[in-house]
Chains A and B, each alone.
Chain A
Amino acid sequence: MTDEELMRVRGIRPEGAYTATVLPKGLRRLPKGCDELATEHLILNAGPQHPSTHGVLHILLELDGEEVVAAEASLGYLHRGVEKLAESRRYHQVGTLLDRADYVSGLHSETAFAMAVEQLAGIEVPRKASWIRSLTMELNRIASHLVWMGTFGLDAGAMAPFLYVMRDREAIIGILEAITGSRMMFNYVRPGGVLADLPVGIEQRIRAFLSTFPGFLDENDALLGGNEIFRARVQGVGVIDRHTALAFGMSGGCLRATGVDYDVRRARPYCAYPEIDFDVPLGERGDNWDRYVVRVGEMRQATRMVEQLLDGMPEGEFTAKVPKVLRPPAGESYAAVESPRGELGIHLVSDGGPTPYRMRVRSPAYYNLAVVDEALAGGLLADAIVTLGSLDIVLGEIDR
């Protein structure tokens, strides 16, 4: 097929929708002297061991001077075959794999998996288990957004906020360790409920955190978001419009920054979210600044939610009665949660055996990253790094 045939998009996408302007073929690799100025394109490898690529992302940038002509992400440096390994694990054991997929917010992927299994096996989750799940997930969301906030600052050259947000994150990690027994690799949410009840005295500890955190967050926000230089680096930079975001399957803060009001907690309510009150922060333009504002707003909302979840924490069982070896009936199920990065879905196929026949992880960062080939082109090299940081990618989840 010729390029012209590949590009024939008119008539397929409706009016007003995103249409590709350039064939997404990756790097152009234009030869030297492609114009009358004898321009030479430089291909720059950013990563896989570059601090601003947030893990092991290898991104190839084709540069015309300071301007990015084309960008292409090269993935797989952290590919461990989580989906394949899950086919050899019993349903209770898959959580350990998913912790290592999204290692910044493991509780979200664990919950998505547990919900998919519960749908398949028809397990009713006790009310208290749902509330504990929501509580730990919201704490995890704050911790994840704090990591993002710090590293995003680093990408733009702000060193100090990183140290402060890590201090606040440490408090949350300590709380999560007291609840789950582990700092990051929790394996706490199991099909049917959670592993253990909330420990004695955890409420006071969380309340102590809540009494200081909103003030710290305002300080951090003023330090980073109130900084003139930072604002100049992010405002109006890295604009991803609504049509592009939807066409590339973006979700979470990246999609809401474009003004699309889509949040899995609202659209497909799960756990305790239908019973508590929260707002969904929205952006307008979809630039780096909007993504920043949306995520900081989400942290404030998560703080509100944690308070309500503590106040209304019901009495009762923390897990349903689940057989030691689960054998869900043959069938398929899909369950999704709003992870800090977007819609994290687990699609399970069961053949009635003790292990999943097929597990597919719908990774939000994977779809959010796919847009870089389109979004970075036309910008400056320094802006490309900031835009990449604003997408909040976690490579463990992208490569799985």
Chain B
Amino acid sequence: MPASRLADILSKAGVACEPSDEALGAVVRLEAARITDALAALLSDGFGFLVDLFATDTGEAIELTYHVRSLKRLEDAYLKTTVTYDGEAPSVWRVYPAALYAEREAAELFGMAFPGHPNPKRLLTVEGTEPLLRKSIAIREAGEVRLS
């Protein structure tokens, strides 16, 4: 499925986006504030399954990836949006309840927030843990790293 078809679906719902066909598949990039509207439009189009939701630290900001799928047509679509460190993206749990856990995990491991989440507690780590998956957090202390 070409990314331009995704862009058509989103533009009908009044969401502006930037489509691109990548090796990964059809990807559209859009602003974080419109993510709920965009996913609701895709859901009405038959993308009923949220495969995964995760964040990546790009070095400048946090990139959120929403991977959705239509099980009938076996089509995958990727929505990407970037938020600043300590930024926020609206919770999409009303569109895909599968996001309930994934958003809690992304929030604690990247130090961002999903306003609108009904139970925004930590999921995997205890209170006070640093956002572990950020690139600024080293895997080992400097003294522990074995030099080659």
- The interface of chain A, by Cβ under 8 A from chain B, is 1, 6, 8-9, 12-14, 17-18, 20, 23-26, 72, 75-76, 79, 81, 83-85, 87-88, 119, 246-249, 260, 262, 267-268, 331-334, 343, 345, 347, 349, 357-358, 360, 362, 366-367, 369-370, 373-374, 399
Contact = CB atoms under 8 A, between A and B. Distances in A.
Interface in B51-78: 51-52, 54, 56-57, 65, 67, 71, 74, 76
B116 A6 contact: yes
B48 A331 contact: no
A74 B133 CA distance: 20
Given A25-B119, A332-B24, A362-B51, A247 B71 contact: no
A260 B48 CA distance: 13
A399 B43 contact: no
Interface string B95-129: 11110110000000000000110110111111000
Nearest to B23: A331
B131 to A, nearest CB: 11
A399 B126 CA distance: 13
Contacts of B52: 249, 345, 347, 360, 362
A205 B125 CA distance: 45
B142 interface: no
A72 B101 CA distance: 11
Nearest to B145: A88
Nearest to B116: A1
A332 B22 contact: yes
B132 interface: yes
Interface residues of B, number: 44
B125 A76 contact: yes
A102 B52 CA distance: 18
A76 B48 contact: no
A367 B101 contact: yes
B133 A331 contact: no
A260 B125 CA distance: 34
Contacts of B51: 249, 343, 345, 362
Contacts of B126: 76
A267 B74 contact: yes
Given A84-B139, A262-B71, A331 B118 contact: no
B123 A76 contact: yes
B116 to A, nearest CB: 6
Contacts of B115: 1
A367 B69 CA distance: 15
Contact of B97 (A83, A248, A362, A366): A248
B71 A260 contact: yes
Nearest to B46: A14
Contacts of A12: 36, 40, 43, 94-95
B85 interface: no
Interface of B: 22-25, 36, 40, 43-44, 48-52, 54, 56-57, 65, 67, 71, 74, 76, 93-98, 100-101, 115-116, 118-119, 121-126, 132-133, 137, 139-140
B54 A75 contact: no
A13 B24 contact: no
Nearest to B56: A358
A24 B76 CA distance: 27
8 contacts: A24-B93, A249-B96, A267-B71, A332-B23, A360-B56, A362-B51, A366-B101, A367-B98
A202 to B, nearest CB: 36
Contacts of A334: 24-25, 67, 76
A24 B97 contact: yes
B42 to A, nearest CB: 11
A323 to B, nearest CB: 18
Given A6-B118, A249-B52, A332-B22, 5 more contacts: A246-B49, A247-B97, A249-B98, A333-B24, A367-B98
Contacts of A75: 123-124
5 A-B pairs with the lowest CB-CB distances in the bound complex, closest first: A249-B98, A76-B124, A362-B52, A332-B24, A360-B54
Contacts of B56: 349, 357-358, 360
A79 B124 contact: yes
A374 B116 CA distance: 19
A333 B79 CA distance: 14
B71 A246 contact: yes
A20 B97 contact: yes
Contacts of B124: 75-76, 79, 399
A360 B67 CA distance: 12
B66 to A, nearest CB: 12
A378 B134 CA distance: 40
A135 B143 CA distance: 44
A263 B50 CA distance: 16
